[in-house]
Amino acid sequence: MSFIDIKNLNKYYSEGRNSFRALKDIDLQIEKGELLSVEGRSGAGKSTLLNIIGCIDSFDSGEYMLDGENIGRMSESKLASVRNSKIGYVFQDFCLVNHQSVLFNAMLPLFFNKTPYSAMKKLGMQALDKVGIADQAHKKANQLSGGQRQRVAVARAIVNSPSLILADEPTGALDSATSAQIMELLTSLNREGTTMIIVTHDKAVSDYCTRHIEIKDGVLSCLPQKSKDDAF
């Protein structure tokens, strides 16, 4: 079985008295260590699929297996545990607590699994060091540049050593030079073995990925695959 195994998945949203089918019979298998881009126009269903894979959103029919576990059969408390232990998230708008320190933001996932503070601080500093921003640990998040803020967001995503990182337009708020730095950072994490799924409409970002899928009007199709050597 693949690390991620999705079969015949459907998602509906209500619009007044009508129902809108956002995802249509999605079949998708992702192996451990893959670097996958999810591409398509705004409103096509990219973020919906990412949120389902990230156990943030539910689905209406089909099956989703993550690392051998049936996500559709899990309770809310079990889903929360999976989100916190197996999945890291990187968002376009960073989603930092602006009035708190960089270290606080990096440690945030550890508060939810009741990690002792001394261990939290050590893990948070290790994550910040890994993304090259440990020297900013005691600054407030709103004192940083956009690129620095996204590095904090990546540190927060990896602090629990997740097996899967989901990135939704991770460079959308950054200039091209800073975007390249963030993508180099993300791909370095992938080369260490972390499975990574990146939602993007930016070709410069998708070029870093080694496998590509496209969603159009809720329907998934596979785009030509590249070798890892072609991605760099």
What are the average pLDDT values for consecutive 10-residue runs of the chain, which has 232 residues? 96 87 96 96 93 96 97 95 94 93 96 89 96 97 96 96 96 93 96 96 94 96 67 48
Note the pTM of the prediction, 2 decimals. Answer: 0.92
DSSP 134: G
- For residue 56 the two structure tokens come to 């943030």
DSSP-derived pairing of the beta strands 35-39 and 211-216: parallel
List the domains of the chain with CATH numbers.
Answer: 4-231 (3.40.50.300)
Note the pLDDT of residue 16. 77
- d(CA 60, CA 3) in angstroms, rounded, equals 21
Q: Residue 81 in contact with residue 109, Cβ under 8 Å?
A: no
**Among 178, 167, 52, 155, which Cα is nearest to 105's?**
155
Residue 144 is predicted with a pLDDT of: 96
DSSP H helical segments within 91-162, as ranges? 102-112, 117-130, 146-158
Instruction: Give the model's pLDDT for residue 125.
Output: 97
Q: Is the dihedral of CA 73, 75, 79, 82 positive or negative?
A: negative
